[in-house]
Amino acid sequence: MAESKKPTDDKDERTNDNKDKQTNDDDDNDNDESVFSKLQDLMNRFSGLMSSSTSDEPVEEPVLKSFDLKNAAEYMSKCSNIIVMAGAGISTSAGIPDFRSPGTGLYSQLSKYDLPSPEAIFHLEFFRNNPKPFFLLAKELYPQKFTPTPTHFFIRLLNEKNKLLRIFTQNIDSLERIAGIPSEKIVEAHGTFFTSHCLNCRKEYDLEFVKVLFIKYD
């Protein structure tokens, strides 16, 4: 008797499995529809937000009509209190290397100084123990060997037109000063060749004094 009921039991199990699968499929469909409904609702709300902002708020005119020299010059002609932020790139055409360009950058040329790391040449602790590499490098970068670039003279022109408020520069080459930009308009974030200070008494020394050190460590 028990054996005769087994096929029926197997059929019932298959029927239950099919029902479970159908239930899972229905759940998945419900989940998909729920996600789609939420996504559609979000898109509708975003669309309404965009339409209300464009209709209620004034549209700002772009600062520049196009990204070319003519439009940049026209815009700057209307400006005052211009702030310039400059880095190594404005001096590379003068022959002064930047820091990280492969092969030509400053860090690529420091292997001859046998440093623990390229950055060590600018670390105060390393300088106190061994100043020679720094002065040898400084001699190569000595400002009076270089001529300011068109960018430097453009910044001077901004000042002559009473438009320059300040130039913030990462460069130590002093080419801004050599180009004729007033020192009170220049912020030299990393220092400058133009002046030096004693590490102990903080006495200030000029560029000519640094030339003497170049000779000493030559």
pLDDT score at 1: 44
Tell me how crowded residue 159 is: count the other CB atoms within 10 A of its CB: 18
| 157 vs 160: CA distance, rounded Å | 5
- Residues found in the chain: 218
User: What pLDDT was estimated at residue 10?
Assistant: 54
86-139: per-residue pLDDT in tens? 998 999 899 887 776 776 677 777 777 788 888 888 899 999 999 888 888 888
138 φ/ψ angles, rounded to the nearest 5 degrees = -60, -35
pTM over 0.75: no
Structural domain spans, the chain = 3-56, 69-96+141-216
- Alpha-carbon gap, residue 5 to 1, rounded angstroms: 7
**pLDDT < 50 regions, the chain:** 1-4
Tokens, residue 35: 């996600």
Active site residues: 190
Radius of gyration of the chain (CA): 35
DSSP for residue 3: G
Report the topology of domain 69-96+141-216: Rossmann fold (3.40.50)
Q: What pLDDT was estimated at residue 45?
A: 66
pLDDT value, residue 110: 78
β-pair type (82-86, 164-169): parallel
Amino acid 142: pLDDT: 78
